[in-house]
Chains A and B, each alone.
Chain A
């Protein structure tokens, strides 16, 4: 295998990680709250716009913390005022709600910042390349990858190694039983929304220096993120992780073989195949409530 092709494979593996921050949040909010959050992309866009506004004042480093926290707070506000009304309702209703929210957010960004895309560059201390023998890679992307992996690892620890995570996992399977045990799920749902939406905000900060920042940018990322969730299986942590890597890899290899025009179509073909063979996704668990 040539070095170039090997580079494509490695790059493909990394590429999927960008979707992961969005896809995991989508999966979490649906698994526990039963809400398909079509506004998730909008929170990503808000994270990116906040970066453009805040970075000149507080620096990119501080934005990495401040912007996701601000987006998470906005998420909590929306969770407390809107999502709470839909947890026990038909998912179709919350689908309509979040679809509306996404449009409101996009138009609000257009009204405040204009339709023209905004510019934002990689901060000078993060520019340059990492050279490992034949493998040359962008230093910024290495940082992006590191932060994404750390966030995902922390999330896994939170869900699997803490009391908080135990309640969340139990709540996914049987919210009524959790309630019967005298544990109210509401605060957990709030924290989960904060984390999931905060991660979307973080993705917005991380991708602002390398993607175009425009009001509809949420759409661009939401569709592939949904594909990742569907392939991986709703509610499955590792399913989403494996699917993200698989999607990135497939895309990278397709381009590596010179078939760039198929780079996005191939992801949808993969989703079709998975849905035909395993309708619950690769690692999708059987969630009683949704059957």
Chain B
């Protein structure tokens, strides 16, 4: 009895849709939508990046649904502000237990990502990290159900490091480094120090900076007195902006580089203050058809170009949709197997990428950008970019942490 009834109902609905009358009703009426949880900081010092993440995830899901959804089903995105590790864990639990999401996507803070990973590991839920960088998440804390679209700190350091080697700023040079005094900064400093020592550089000084320090004047005076060959930023969030603005204010001329970076922070520093060499997973000037299309539709909708965090969440949604379609299944276990076997994805770059089976890190091209300073043509295009790193002839793994550098033992 139920069979024919259902068919009839579908026909009625289809007719309604064709008339363009009942679109919202269909959306609500469809109970078999694929639910995905999106959890990322939307307030606090990472909030500005979280806003890009949410906007991009929304855009991706709308595009996927407009093209017919996945396996004929709509994707429904349940979005939450992760706030801090405790809240992130609670909300992850609620998304899994109450809302029955098939996976959780997002995060920027390494500490919150770890808290979410503990929940998803326990419940066997798929977690795709789009913004947390710490190597530990891919090493000592790695998990079978966790995949990383965001690059690990090692990839950031090696990407910027290649540009610095090319500029002759490593061997025999003295670095003055400023490091954010929390988990992310410490992890980054460890990786940066290893790179510097392997390539024959040394620290002129190495300072930890409390995350609530807004005024860098005292450190800038110290830098001026130390006369380093290179000033290194292992800072995060608004501190990068504050540092760059005040570095310009004090008129220091030592070359600058950083190992952690987000384009929004450079835009906030402005073209007068943004200088130096920085690594990035993606930026809005990458000249591939897919990237151009993404930038265009993002700009049309949000009236600003997308930045690297937008790329992470946009690509993550597309990876999920593409894989579910290929597998004709929404089963997280099958997705994990599929990805571990090296499934390839279009990441809007010159080469396709894949998740490395050993630590579930996405292998993809990165870029080193260099601030143009006041020569920048407008408020957005304030840097020039290297070509893809690694280059065309090299394996994508060339910039990732080796097994000796960061070992992952998955249960």
Binds A, one of B8-16, B96-104, B212-220, B400-408: B212-220
Per-residue CB proximity of A260-280 to B under 8 Å, as 1/0? Answer: 111111000000000000000
Is A260 in contact with B208, judged by CB distance below 8 angstroms? yes
Q: Does B51 contact A (CB under 8 A)?
A: yes
Q: Does A140 contact B (CB under 8 A)?
A: yes
Contact A117-B225, Cβ < 8 Å, known A15-B217, A138-B251: no
A216 to B304, CA, bound (A): 21
Is B268 in contact with A116, judged by CB distance below 8 angstroms? yes
Q: Does B117 contact A (CB under 8 A)?
A: no
Residues in A neighbouring B217, C-beta threshold 8 A: 11, 14-15, 138, 141
Interface size class of A (residues with CB under 8 A): 35 or more
A146 to B271, CA, bound (A): 27
Q: Does B210 contact A (CB under 8 A)?
A: yes
Per-residue CB proximity of B208-237 to A under 8 Å, as 1/0? Answer: 111011110111011011000000000000
A116 to B310, CA, bound (A): 12
A252 to B212, CA, bound (A): 15
Residues in B neighbouring A255, C-beta threshold 8 A: 218-219, 222
Is B218 in contact with A212, judged by CB distance below 8 angstroms? no
Is A117 in contact with B268, judged by CB distance below 8 angstroms? yes
Is A264 in contact with B221, judged by CB distance below 8 angstroms? no
Per-residue CB proximity of A52-83 to B under 8 Å, as 1/0? Answer: 00000000000000000000000000000000
Residues in A neighbouring B209, C-beta threshold 8 A: 260-261, 263
Is A121 in contact with B273, judged by CB distance below 8 angstroms? yes
CB distance from A242 to the nearest CB of B (A): 19
Q: Does B142 contact A (CB under 8 A)?
A: no
Per-residue CB proximity of B255-287 to A under 8 Å, as 1/0? Answer: 000000000110111111100000000000000
Per-residue CB proximity of B301-336 to A under 8 Å, as 1/0? Answer: 000100000000000000000000000000000000
Is B215 in contact with A15, judged by CB distance below 8 angstroms? yes
Is B51 in contact with A260, judged by CB distance below 8 angstroms? no
Is A117 in contact with B205, judged by CB distance below 8 angstroms? no
Is B238 in contact with A138, judged by CB distance below 8 angstroms? no
Residues in B neighbouring A40, C-beta threshold 8 A: none
Q: Does B207 contact A (CB under 8 A)?
A: yes
CB distance from B98 to the nearest CB of A (A): 26
CB distance from B230 to the nearest CB of A (A): 18
Question: What 6 A-B pairs are tightest by C-beta distance, nearest first?
Answer: A119-B270, A117-B268, A261-B208, A255-B218, A212-B241, A115-B51
Write the residues of chain A forming the contact surface with B, with a CB cutoff of 8 angstroms.
3-4, 7-8, 11-12, 14-15, 18, 110, 114-122, 127-129, 136, 138, 140-141, 209-216, 220-221, 223, 251-252, 255-256, 258, 260-265
Q: List 26 A-B contacts (CB under 8 A).
A: A8-B218, A15-B218, A110-B47, A116-B52, A116-B264, A116-B268, A117-B265, A117-B267, A121-B248, A121-B273, A122-B249, A122-B272, A127-B249, A138-B250, A140-B249, A210-B245, A211-B245, A212-B238, A215-B47, A256-B222, A260-B208, A261-B181, A261-B209, A263-B218, A264-B210, A264-B212
